[in-house]
Amino acid sequence: MNSVSKIILQRLALGLLTLFIVSIVIFVSVNMLPGDFAEAILGQGATPEAVQAIREDLGLNQNPVTRYLSWLGGVLQGDLGNSFAQANFASFVGADSGVRVTVADQIAPRFANTMFLAGVTAAIAVPVSILIGVLAALYRNSVFDRVANIGTLTSISSPEFFLAYLLILFLAVLNPILPSLSNIYDGMPFGERLQKSMLPALTLTLVVMAHMMRMTRAAIINLLASPYIEMARLKGVTPFKIIVKHALPNALAPIINVVALNLAYLITGVVVVEVVFVYPGIGQLFVDSVKIRDIPVVQACCLIFASAYILLNLTADVLSILSNPRLRHPK
């Protein structure tokens, strides 16, 4: 087995171990949420018999270890369980059989919407950030460099909801260019879906662009003092060609890492933005499920967030190793 394959397998093993530990943290944290689902769904007039019937049917009366192992076993088999809130609880009090809705059925369309929003944001943020970073390095200490740094630092220092409301004010209220609510649905034409998703996508772009731009700028500037860059300058190569052809390929490893981290944020950090724009994604579903204590949905959303973050970090590690030969031989 060569060194690259060995390093990749080590990263995968560490990723699986991390995900297992995170699953324990998720289960413990979700089950420590205040309140009881059975009492919440039945209201203040619930009888102890009805509450006990619901808890027995949902398995809430089992000990935590048994419930965790049951949940983990189902996840390993691709079964995220059934939603508590979407069930018909008439069966729990002796009426007709209830209809269960699986967590996967609930999450699948919402996750697709979140991935669409993340894809639109990445398509805007990644090329724009790298381009601005390259230009900022090319025109270092110029007016453009200062404006780019001030603009990106301002955007990253502002809370997501503040940026969202500013965009709503300027692009939906004062200048009605884009809709303020992203009420998309299945079967919506691509152009209309893109238009309704543009404001949340622009909000996320402003949030993630600063990291990528500044890392691109710093990585390129760090390489501009290298001897091979000086040799290229002595040969008369233009500054732009030096950066694009010689500096940028060698700066890919840190840029890939910061891009992957920000792409992970686009999936795991969309909760606030989706709530502000009423975007029907997994972040909105997560908030709604926490409100009604729908434990299986909350656990599944948290696990998806953690898996996406770990997977993108592993991808960044592998791409960094493949793009930089020095990382293939750590000795």
When the pLDDT of each residue in the chain is averaged and rounded to a whole number, the result is: 82
Q: What's the burial of 6, exposed, middle or buried (CB within 10 Å: 0-12/13-18/19+)?
A: exposed
Of the listed ranges 61-70, 113-122, 170-179, 197-206, the least confidently predicted one is: 61-70
CA dihedral angle for residue 79, residue 91, residue 42, residue 292, rounded to 10 degrees: 20
Predicted pLDDT at 21: 92
Residue-wise pLDDT for 271-325, tens only, equals: 889 889 989 989 888 888 888 778 888 889 989 988 888 888 888 777 777 766 6
Residues 202 and 192: beta-carbon distance below 8 Å: no
- pTM score: 0.82
What's the pLDDT score for residue 123?
Answer: 92
Kindly state the percentage of the chain with pLDDT values over 70. Answer: 86
Q: Whole-angstrom Cα distance, residue 178 to residue 264? A: 26
Predicted confidence (pLDDT) per residue in 135-188, tens digit = 888 888 889 989 988 888 888 888 888 988 999 999 888 888 888 888 888 888
Position 75 confidence tier, pLDDT thresholds 50, 70, 90: confident
How far from the centroid of its chain's Cα atoms is residue 109's Cα?
16
Mention every residue, 6+ apart, whose C-beta is less than 8 A from residue 67. Answer: 27, 31, 59, 60
Predicted confidence band of residue 253 (pLDDT cuts 50, 70, 90): confident
Per-domain residue ranges of the chain = 3-93, 112-324
Q: Is 112 helix (H, G, I), strand (E, B) or coil?
A: helix
pLDDT in tens, 97-143: 455 678 888 898 999 999 999 999 999 999 999 899 888 888 888 89
CB atoms inside a 10 Å sphere around CB 127: 11
Architecture label for domain 112-324: Orthogonal Bundle (1.10)
87 in Cβ contact with 100 (< 8 Å): yes
Per-residue pLDDT, averaged over 221-230, amounts to 82
